[in-house]
Structure 1
């Protein structure tokens, strides 16, 4: 366990190094996890390659994704006020700001305040206040478990297991719908010398979600000189952030990796071939498309139900990895690796 002095002294910009290998520590907002996994532990974090032959799989076999239909209060009120469906750009703006507000919460402090609010609501004898206070506490407890305890959103050990073994030297990485850019930074740590281009059409993602990503968060990667483990930080990486609609990008086929995280599931079926093509359009020959989506499992459905006001501003599906892979296979990609980790599915694929 990391000593408290190293964590609490905010004057230390890079408090972690290789000497903290195999340690984990819970910050008020998130968890740091520099633990590796042994061969025995591997299957705790990733299940790989459950489909032997994608050409034999059909939608009759796998079914369709689960659509999340309980939208946030903000979206519902906006649509009522404007008498129309919320457009995608507005919905993403609302989502990014709401999600970021939760990422920066001091969760232990907020939980104490929530308990105090609950006790005051009981004293008021007003059922509406009691119900709201209980709802706030439930959300905080769930967020605390998913993000700070389980580390399911960032999930560094699971993501490293999905991303490993690509044998790339100083790759160019394009991250579509980058938000705070976490996964591209993890890839950049694993493949030293990477050049990262992040793209999102919400300026807030560049200035705030990425701009305020904690400088002292450590990514476990590789030392290119020794081949040993190395701790890398955000400012060690070569990153350009572009605010633009993906459809307007003028890059050529110049990237070794095109990455998206939580993108495919935000589009109904008629748009999924176009989304798949975004991953093809910018890839060098022999390059890798890497995608993740939220898993369709009971706890994920519960999460999106309880956290609706935080998460559900946009169209969203929950998929199995077989559904996700079949979308990409039918769009002309060969699936090189597929699997699922704590709360996400993952694919590594290549255009046929």
Structure 2
């Protein structure tokens, strides 16, 4: 790992490098793993739910959700849940986790020395959260996971694509795609207005995306200000686009819909695709460490319905809802599928 100044902008001279900065890791190393070659063969047309099993439901709700519902004597509305989630989750990306951990340790020490047991326990829990977040996001890079996602996205028959990102938040994966298949257009959609400035707007402008130079085919470093990106604040159901996008992508979206609403969620991906276009979907993988993550971070993450799935379950949902799964694979914390409408 080669260190460069945290104030400098990444350039093509940094190709092949990785570095941990205050709030994120940048990684310009080419991937070494083909997630699809590693995937076990699955014939989704023959797969049954008995074989696939059912997704795991995350139900340790955030304290903020429980307090809101107790105060209002009704279930937390989905739009409010997403507003709370986006602000809460973004607070992790905004912070320097090492400094936050040190501050939490100092607080824990003071509370223990003054015998404030409940406050000390809360501070110790915060120490654990910042320790794990630092490892997951900055050190292990399991949240953005650029090397694995590039493997997930590479090899598509795309030139100057129009890309639609549903439930976009900060829009990371669309920017990754735009660097890999440059010269097109990205439309980010989220119905929480906070995401425009609070998530996409807060995304580090110096973050480098490894892509290609369309003129030469050589590797090139891209930044978001070099991409044609627009942000639309809208309920997906209200979009008036036709079948005009080469790629429709969602990252961690369909697992928020109970089974009776999944056909609607998958139809959103189909509705805006050009004939032959690609739908790219990922969902969080079910695993012991993922369950533990959503347990520890429940107060920051768990505001609405959420499932943890395996790749067989995600692919079977897609097949049942009118898609042909072209490729499937697993990355660090997500399942991924590439689909076309049947």
Shorter chain as denominator, the TM-score bin is over 0.9
**Map of 2:75 onto structure 1:** 85
Q: Give aligned pairs, total.
A: 342
Answering whether residue 53 of structure 2 is matched by residue 59 of structure 1, we say no
What RMSD, in angstroms, separates the aligned Cα atoms of the two structures? 1.2
Distance 2:284 2:333 in 1: 6
Q: Deviations along 1:240-270, whole A, 9 cap, x unmatched? A: 1100000000000000000000100000000
Which of 109, 116, 121 matches 1:126?
116
Answering whether residue 300 of structure 2 is matched by residue 310 of structure 1, we say yes
Instruction: Give yes or no for contact 1:46–1:342 (8 Å, CA) kept in 2.
Output: no
Q: 2:242 is paired with a residue of what secondary structure?
A: coil
**Map of 2:318 onto structure 1:** 328
**Map of 2:327 onto structure 1:** 337
Answering whether residue 16 of structure 2 is matched by residue 26 of structure 1, we say no
Q: 1:258 is paired with a residue of what secondary structure?
A: strand
Instruction: Give yes or no for contact 1:95–1:312 (8 Å, CA) kept in 2.
Output: yes
**Map of 1:239 onto structure 2:** 229
**Map of 1:290 onto structure 2:** 280
**Map of 1:135 onto structure 2:** 125
Distance 2:246 2:38 in 1: 22
Distance 2:326 2:254 in 1: 18
Instruction: Give yes or no for contact 2:256–2:306 (8 Å, CA) kept in 1.
Output: yes
Cα deviation, residue 126, structure 1: 2.0
Q: 2:211 is paired with a residue of what secondary structure?
A: strand
Distance 2:78 2:164 in 1: 22
Cα deviation, residue 111, structure 1: 1.2
Distance 1:113 1:125 in 2: 18
**Map of 2:144 onto structure 1:** 154
Cα deviation, residue 125, structure 1: 1.2
**Map of 1:70 onto structure 2:** 60
| CA spacing shift, 1:253–1:341, aligned 2, 3 Å | same
Q: 2:249 is paired with a residue of what secondary structure?
A: strand
Distance 2:330 2:59 in 1: 23
Distance 1:270 1:222 in 2: 41
Distance 1:233 1:288 in 2: 24
| CA spacing shift, 1:112–1:247, aligned 2, 3 Å | same
Cα deviation, residue 48, structure 1: 4.4
Q: 1:313 is paired with a residue of what secondary structure?
A: coil
Distance 1:283 1:3 in 2: 42
Q: 2:45 is paired with a residue of what secondary structure?
A: helix
Cα deviation, residue 51, structure 1: 3.1
**Map of 1:266 onto structure 2:** 256
Which of 224, 238, 246 matches 1:248?
238
Instruction: Give yes or no for contact 1:99–1:311 (8 Å, CA) kept in 2.
Output: yes
Instruction: Give yes or no for contact 1:48–1:337 (8 Å, CA) kept in 2.
Output: no
Instruction: Give yes or no for contact 1:46–1:158 (8 Å, CA) kept in 2.
Output: no
Instruction: Give yes or no for contact 2:3–2:19 (8 Å, CA) kept in 1.
Output: no
**Map of 2:309 onto structure 1:** 319
Distance 2:250 2:38 in 1: 19
Distance 1:218 1:148 in 2: 15
Q: Deviations along 1:213-257, whole A, 9 cap, x unmatched? A: 111000001111111111000100001110000000000000000
Distance 2:257 2:38 in 1: 25
